[in-house]
Chains A and B, each alone.
Chain A
Amino acid sequence: MIISQTSGIPIYQQIADSFRADILEGRLKEGEYLPSIRGLARDLKISVITTMKAYEMLDQEGLVTAVQGKGYVVNAQDGNMLKEQHMRKVEEGLMQAIQSARIAGLSENELIETLKLLITLKEN
């Protein structure tokens, strides 16, 4: 896990992002535990509360559940949630493209054509 102190993204967010990707992409499986909060804080040289905030974020998203005295366990991931997460990434990417297109003065049609062209290029 790479934690950047200067990226502008809060550290708890970076930790949550990293574990979220591990869970959604299957590297962390249902029933497995996240590292202990204070152990991870020690290893990453960050405070306990920052680690805790990252884990609570994942808990709120339903990806993990806190188990009294044992830590945070990875939940079963259903296909819909996985798709929703990917959908969010697609939307984020497209929003960026729309903004750049606006700055460049591209019309709606030109943007759509560009997307279609890129899809064809990728398929071939």
Chain B
Amino acid sequence: MELTSVIHGDGLFKKYGSFELDVPVLDIPQGFATALIGENGAGKSTLLDILAGIRLDYKGSLKFFGKYDDNDRENNPDVKNAIGYEGTGNYYLPMWTLKQGREVQKLLFRNFDENKYIELCRQLAVPEEESKKISDLSDGNHMKIKLAGVLSRDTDLLILDEPASPLDPLMRDKLCDMIREYLQRDEGGKSVLFSTHNISDMEAVTDYAIIVENGKIVEQGFVEDLKEKYVMVKGEKEDEEAARKVLYSISSNTYGFEGICLSGKLDELAGMHTVVEPATLSQICVAVMKNNSKLYGVN
């Protein structure tokens, strides 16, 4: 598989207070959906803000689409227009109505497709009264108009910060469909990078996963490769102590244990009564996060 990076970063570093974001090398594969996964305060939003140019006080260098640097991202309209960003903040003035929100986006972005925006709002069941104030919308509806906005532009890269969080299960499913639809528009030419807490809801749309803990990337890879690296093991109580020495992560109950094992270490479980199953991305992420968590004693 030939891979190119839609974003490449070198020596990305940002410090505030006791927190340090330290990413020596970053590669976001082009043509795929990449999930940035990590606990609260791990540095996901900081990293996305650096990539999107929301935050400019960082060290390190960036390359977009294989040829543009961070300066181009700030000053070259072609690069700016090719990137869509959706953040967790509120970027509409409180007195704006839905109609005004739509009109402002039409003025701001040269590649904004108004008809598409109206259609996406309809699909996402955004309230129809256009005189409604944006500040009166629920968190879910607020996210929907932000997503409709970013998806109505003709971009090549989407950077979405926690898009699934305020959405209900039905709309999360819709979001996954919309990401797949976006990727499919140009076979291999469009990329999506999103952060999420809802790993299981987003698993069926995640191609590449980057797990961030305490400002550092602790694991990353294509989901299918991660599933080959980590597997789920379940076993009986009598083998628990021996298995504990082998497993990557383990949790026990009255009747037995289960945990994530590195595939390369499965041989060491020989002789124990265990069942080996494929792990879900969610199970892998939780195991990796537990092993790297700054919260002492979580394990």
Answer yes or no: are A and B bound together in one complex.
Answer: yes
* Contact pattern, B 215-239, Cβ under 8 Å of A = 1, otherwise 0: 0000000111001000000000000
**B-side contacts of A37, CB under 8 Å:** 187
B277 contacts A8, C-beta separation under 8 Å:
yes
A10 contacts B184, C-beta separation under 8 Å:
no
B204 contacts A47, C-beta separation under 8 Å:
yes
- Residues on B close to A: CB < 8 A? 1, 31-33, 176-177, 180-181, 183-184, 187-188, 203-208, 222-224, 227, 277-278
CA distance A12 to B181 in the complex (A): 20
A36 contacts B187, C-beta separation under 8 Å:
yes
Q: Within 8 Å of chain B (Cβ to Cβ): is A53?
A: yes
CA distance A52 to B33 in the complex (A): 13
Interface hit among A24-32, A38-46, A79-87, A91-99? A38-46
Question: Given A10-B278, A47-B207, A48-B32, do A42 and B222 touch, yes or no (CB 8 Å)?
Answer: no
From A39, A45, A48, B177 is in contact (CB under 8 Å) with A45
B177 contacts A49, C-beta separation under 8 Å:
no
**B-side contacts of A41, CB under 8 Å:** 180, 183-184
Q: Within 8 Å of chain B (Cβ to Cβ): is A75?
A: no
From A36, A52, A71, B1 is in contact (CB under 8 Å) with A52
A42 contacts B180, C-beta separation under 8 Å:
yes
- Residues on A close to B: CB < 8 A? 8, 10, 12, 36-39, 41-42, 45-50, 52-53, 56, 71
B222 contacts A49, C-beta separation under 8 Å:
yes
B207 contacts A38, C-beta separation under 8 Å:
no
B204 contacts A46, C-beta separation under 8 Å:
yes
Whole-angstrom distance from the CB of A57 to the nearest CB of chain B?
11
Binding site of A, secondary structure by majority: helix, strand, loop or mixed?
Answer: helix
Whole-angstrom distance from the CB of B240 to the nearest CB of chain A?
24
A12 contacts B33, C-beta separation under 8 Å:
no
From A8, A45, A52, B180 is in contact (CB under 8 Å) with A45
Residue in B1, B31, B204 whose Cβ sees the most chain A Cβ within 10 Å: B204
A48 contacts B277, C-beta separation under 8 Å:
no
**B-side contacts of A10, CB under 8 Å:** 227, 278
B184 contacts A38, C-beta separation under 8 Å:
yes
Residue in A39, A49, A52 whose Cβ sees the most chain B Cβ within 10 Å: A49
Question: Given A8-B277, A56-B1, do A45 and B176 touch, yes or no (CB 8 Å)?
Answer: yes
A49 contacts B277, C-beta separation under 8 Å:
no
CA distance A45 to B183 in the complex (A): 12
| Residue in chain B with minimal CB distance to A54 | B224
B223 contacts A42, C-beta separation under 8 Å:
no
| Residue in chain B with minimal CB distance to A38 | B184
B187 contacts A49, C-beta separation under 8 Å:
no
Whole-angstrom distance from the CB of B179 to the nearest CB of chain A?
9
A42 contacts B224, C-beta separation under 8 Å:
no
From B1, B33, B187, B278, A47 is in contact (CB under 8 Å) with B33
Whole-angstrom distance from the CB of A38 to the nearest CB of chain B?
4
A47 contacts B205, C-beta separation under 8 Å:
yes
Residue in B207, B222, B224 whose Cβ sees the most chain A Cβ within 10 Å: B224
